[in-house]
Structure formats: C-alpha cells, structure tokens
Amino acid sequence: MISDEEGKRIASIIGVHYEGIKEGNRVIPPMYTFTDVAKTGATFLARTLEEAKDRLAEIRQRFLGFSSGNGKASKP
C-alpha cells in the first residue's frame, strides 16, 4: 500500500517534488505523482523508488539528452 510519507521519502531521495497520490481504479493501482522541477518540469507517475528513479532518468534523457543512469542528470 502506498502512503504520502513514502512518496515524500522517494521525492527526497531522487530530488523531485512530490505532488501526491493519484488514485487508482479497478484496473490501474494508485501511484505517486512527482514533478522534476529542477531539470525538466515534467510530471511522472511511479509506484516504487526504483520505478521513480527509472522514470526520472528516462524523462531527463528525453528532455535533456543526457543521463548518468542513476536518476541524476550529468553532462557527458
């Protein structure tokens, strides 16, 4: 089960803003909503820390064209 406390913890670890929990339905489970305010301004959904790290790296790669692979952008 997801909680606001866990969402805030994940956001703190990966350096993004925690927006809250997006409620699910019968098919889609609830997910955390985060915004990468520091680099891209993109908002994304994730259910776990690892998923959030992966999504953040994908977004930064797409928007910025580079990534260090650890969820933090870095110049080549």
pLDDT at 75: 47
Output b/e per residue, 55-74; b: 16+ Cβ within 10 A: bbbebbeeeeeebeeebebe
Domain boundaries, the chain: 4-64
Digit-coded pLDDT (tens) for 29-57: 999 999 999 999 999 999 999 999 999 99
Q: What does pLDDT average to over the chain?
A: 89
> How would residue 64 be classed by pLDDT, with cut points 50, 70 and 90?
confident
pLDDT at 54: 98
Return the residue matching tokens 């998923």. 51
* Residue in 16, 20, 10 with CA at minimum distance from that of residue 60: 16
